[in-house]
Amino acid sequence: MQSFDEILATLENADHLTQLELSNPDGSPAAIIENKPGSQGSLKVYHQLWKKYGSIDRQAAEEGLALYAEHTADARSNPGKHPNIDRLLEVIESGSRLEVRCQTTGLAP
Q: What's the mean pLDDT in 56-73?
A: 98
Helices (H), strands (E): how many in the chain?
5, 3
pLDDT at 13: 92
107 versus 26: the higher-pLDDT residue is: 26
**Edge-to-edge strands, sheet with 29-34:** 29-34, 17-23, 99-104
Average pLDDT in the 76-104 region? Answer: 97
Task: Reply yes or no on whether the pLDDT at 109 is more than 80.
Answer: no
CB 69 within 8 A of CB 7: yes
pLDDT tens digit sequence for 7-47: 999 999 999 999 999 999 999 999 999 999 999 999 999 99
Q: What's the pLDDT score for residue 107?
A: 59
How many beta carbons lie within 10 A of that of residue 104, not counting itself? Answer: 13
CA angle 79, 82, 88 (to 5 degrees): 85
Integer Cα distance of 46 and 67 in angstroms:
10
